[in-house]
């Protein structure tokens, strides 16, 4: 879709996946629906399936949750390269806001990794052509805390007493149809319906957060160093009263200007003042706020005395702690000495965040994308980044294994065998895990007949895959 919607549109989307690790696991189903800013549909919804490659075993539990099997995606789907190109075209349409329900922390990571694996820019669609991204799950949390009127809130979680923000619970409480949850298109429609509900019930809150989707707007509120306290609504603050805390922004991290070191003003500051750059993240109340992930932040003036009581916050004590922090200038030195503690996995599929590719390599990526599949491995490309050669072979083998030479097919089978026997990092799903989980659930009398049909399909797929790889 190449239409330039001058007034802007929102492309709502959801993924169903074969596991929870965005670096390793694969997208099973993608669904999306474009709307205008008033949430009226534009055009028909899009549903895509992603074919499986032989170097990957799905998590049986994920298949039981979604009901999607490898056979279904292989019958209905396209290769990952074609699918992610189609998705990226929608996301990159000028003036598009890409949105979902918990998409920034989950679905967007799968999209970034799929783009990365297939030699496409993982980030460009998030800012180019006046595009941006958004996520309404924190809007819903903020509505609960700050402006709950007009929305029926689901029962609290039995185990903790905390409020629940599951999409299915919200739609059920508000009589919004959502039959077939864990189908991507059903969840997209439910997300749009919840967005309409909040927009109708609390239009000012909706508009306020919609404007917070840019880094510039967030940075104007969360100022560093030692900015004014702000009210931050986030999942990790969840308790019986809500999800919001007064925080002090201390400083942005030296190696990542999008990440701001912050302190929860409901916590004791004594350990904070004793911390070093090596142990500061072990201090209760210390965290980082990502300005590029649409955080829901509000001026401290929003926290009235009445609201503070409702949220269980001692406003006076919080402001006193804020004053203590800004008087301790040594914290700036500690914060700016923090180094990136990111631990890389020695496998190119897990190295999206190990660094940006050189510009010359990006030009080579364009040649790879344009080349016919049978010619991609014949290209003479002197890559600067050492990740690229391994990525290129996997890119071709995963998407078009039929074009490989006999020697390349042997190499690919060897890779698939090792990958499924010994997956990288902390991935647990290998052949032993896969077979054991399938058999345990097939034998269990607590598993429904419908689920056992999914399991029988998984067993059948596993046997066929094993034969292809190890024969």
Q: Which residue has the tokens 């409901």?
A: 266
pLDDT tens for 319-377 read: 999 999 999 989 988 888 887 666 789 999 999 999 999 999 999 999 999 999 999 99
H or E element that contains 408: helix 406-421
Shared domain check, 29 and 116? yes
- Partners of 31 in the β-ladder: 14, 47
Shared domain check, 251 and 181? no
Sign of dihedral through CA atoms 12, 89, 7, 40? negative
Which of 213, 240, 265 corresponds to the end of one domain?
213
Shared domain check, 327 and 222? yes
- Partners of 50 in the β-ladder: 78
- The residue range of the domain holding 295 is 215-336
Assign 255 to helix, strand or coil.
coil
Shared domain check, 310 and 422? no
Residue at 2 is within a domain: no
- CATH assignment of the domain containing 85: 3.30.420.10
Shared domain check, 106 and 159? no
The tens place of each residue's pLDDT in the chain, 471 residues long, gives: 445 566 899 999 999 999 999 999 999 999 999 999 999 999 999 999 999 999 999 999 999 999 999 999 999 999 999 999 999 999 999 999 999 999 999 999 999 999 999 999 999 999 999 999 999 999 999 999 999 999 999 999 988 999 999 999 999 999 998 776 668 999 999 999 999 999 999 999 999 999 999 999 999 999 999 999 999 999 999 999 999 999 999 999 988 889 999 999 999 999 999 999 999 999 999 999 999 999 999 999 999 999 999 999 999 999 999 999 999 989 988 888 887 666 789 999 999 999 999 999 999 999 999 999 999 999 999 999 999 999 999 999 999 999 999 999 999 999 999 999 999 999 999 999 999 999 999 999 999 999 999 999 999 999 999 999 998
Residue at 341 is within a domain: no
Residue at 4 is within a domain: no
Residue at 278 is within a domain: yes
Assign 335 to helix, strand or coil.
helix
Residue 257, pLDDT score:
87
Q: What is the DSSP string of 193-243?
A: HHHHHHHHH-HHHHHHHHGGGSHHHHHHHS-TTT---EEEE-GGG--SS-S
- Residues in CB range of 375: below 8 A, 6 or more apart: none
Residue at 425 is within a domain: yes
Please state whether beta strands 96-99 and 132-133 pair in parallel, antiparallel, or not at all (unpaired): parallel
Whether residue 225 has a cis bond before it, omega within 30° of 0: yes
Shared domain check, 315 and 232? yes
Residue 5, pLDDT score:
60
Shared domain check, 200 and 219? no
- Residues in CB range of 49: below 8 A, 6 or more apart: 28, 29, 30, 72, 73, 76, 77, 78, 83
Q: How far apart are CA 46 and CA 64, in angstroms?
A: 24
Which of 336, 357, 392 corresponds to the end of one domain?
336
Shared domain check, 399 and 308? no
- CATH assignment of the domain containing 375: 1.20.1280.70
Residue at 343 is within a domain: no
373-411 as b/e: b if 16+ CB within 10 A:
beebbeeeeebebebbeebbbbbbbbbbbebbeeeeeee
- Partners of 290 in the β-ladder: 259
Is-contact 242 234, C-beta < 8 A?
Answer: no
Q: How far apart are CA 447 and CA 440, in angstroms?
A: 10
Q: How far apart are CA 305 and CA 303, in angstroms?
A: 7
Residue at 232 is within a domain: yes
Shared domain check, 390 and 284? no
Secondary-structure percent of the chain, ordered helix, strand, coil, rounded to 5: 50, 15, 35
Residue 333, pLDDT score:
87
pLDDT tens for 409-465 read: 999 999 999 999 999 999 999 999 999 999 999 999 999 999 999 999 999 999 999
Q: How far apart are CA 375 and CA 367, in angstroms?
A: 11
**In whole angstroms, what separates CA 88 from the centre of its chain?**
15
Q: 49, 264, 243: which is closest to 157 by C-alpha?
A: 243
Long-range contacts for 314-322 (Cβ within 8 Å, ≥24 apart)? 314/266, 315/246, 317/265, 317/266, 318/229, 318/246, 318/265, 318/266, 319/229, 319/246, 319/265, 321/248, 321/263, 321/265, 321/267, 321/269, 322/229, 322/246, 322/248, 322/265
Shared domain check, 359 and 285? no
Which of 116, 133, 150 corresponds to the end of one domain?
133
Shared domain check, 170 and 76? no
Shared domain check, 397 and 292? no
Q: How far apart are CA 105 and CA 454, in angstroms?
A: 28
Q: How many CB atoms lie within 10 A of CB 310?
A: 16
- Partners of 298 in the β-ladder: 231
If one counts the domains in the chain, the total is: 4
What angle, 0 to 180 degrees and rounded to 10, lies between the N-to-C axes of helices 203-210 and 137-146? 140
Residue at 305 is within a domain: yes
- CATH assignment of the domain containing 259: 3.30.1520.20
């Amino acid at each position: 879709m190449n239409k330039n919607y001058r007034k802007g549109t929102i492309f709502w989307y959801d993924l169903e996946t074969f596991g929870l690790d965005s670096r390793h696991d694969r997208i099973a189903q993608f669904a999306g629906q474009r709307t205008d800013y008033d949430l009226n549909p534009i055009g028909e919804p899009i549903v895509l399936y992603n074919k499986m490659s032989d170097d990957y075993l799905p998590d049986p539990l994920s298949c039981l949750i979604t009901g999607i099997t490898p056979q279904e995606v292989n019958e209905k789907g396209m290769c990952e390269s074609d699918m992610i190109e189609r998705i990226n075209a929608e996301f990159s349409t000028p003036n598009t806001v890409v949105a979902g329900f918990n998409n920034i922390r989950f679905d967007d990571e799968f999209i970034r990794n799929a783009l990365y694996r297939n030699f496409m820019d993982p980030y460009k669609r998030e800012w180019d052509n006046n595009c941006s991204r958004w996520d309404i799950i924190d809007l819903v949390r903020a509505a609960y805390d700050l402006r709950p009127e007009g929305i029926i809130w689901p029962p609290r979680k039995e185990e903790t007493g905390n409020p629940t923000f599951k999409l299915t619970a919200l739609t059920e409480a508000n009589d919004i149809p959502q039959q077939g949850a864990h189908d991507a298109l059903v969840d997209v429609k439910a997300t749009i319906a919840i967005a309409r509900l909040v927009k109708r019930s609390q239009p000012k809150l909706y508009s306020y957060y919609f404007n917070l989707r840019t880094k510039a707007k967030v940075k104007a509120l969360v100022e560093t160093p030692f900015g004014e306290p702000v009210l931050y609504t986030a999942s990790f603050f969840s308790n019986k009263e809500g999800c919001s805390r007064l925080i002090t922004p201390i400083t942005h991290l030296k190696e990542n200007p999008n990440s701001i070191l912050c302190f929860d003003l409901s916590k004791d500051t004594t350990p904070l003042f004793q911390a070093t750059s090596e142990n500061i993240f072990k201090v209760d109340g210390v965290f980082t706020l990502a300005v590029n992930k649409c955080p829901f932040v509000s001026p401290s003036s929003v926290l009235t005395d009445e609201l503070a009581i409702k949220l269980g916050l001692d406003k006076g004590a919080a402001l006193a702690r804020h004053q203590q922090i800004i008087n301790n200038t040594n914290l700036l030195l500690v914060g700016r000495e923090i180094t990136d503690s990111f631990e890389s996995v020695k496998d190119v599929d897990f190295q999206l965040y190990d660094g940006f590719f050189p510009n010359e390599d990006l030009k080579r990526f364009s040649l790879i994308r344009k080349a016919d599949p049978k010619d991609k491995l014949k290209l003479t490309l002197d890559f600067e980044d050492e990740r690229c050669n391994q990525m290129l072979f996997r890119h071709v083998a995963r998407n078009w294994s039929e074009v490989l030479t006999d020697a390349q097919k042997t190499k690919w089978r060897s890779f698939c065998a090792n990958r499924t026997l010994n997956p990288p990092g902390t991935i647990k799903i290998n052949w032993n895990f896969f077979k054991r989980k399938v058999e345990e659930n097939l034998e269990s009398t607590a598993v429904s007949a419908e689920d056992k049909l999914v399991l029988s399909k998984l067993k059948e797929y596993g046997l066929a895959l094993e034969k292809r790889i190890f024969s």
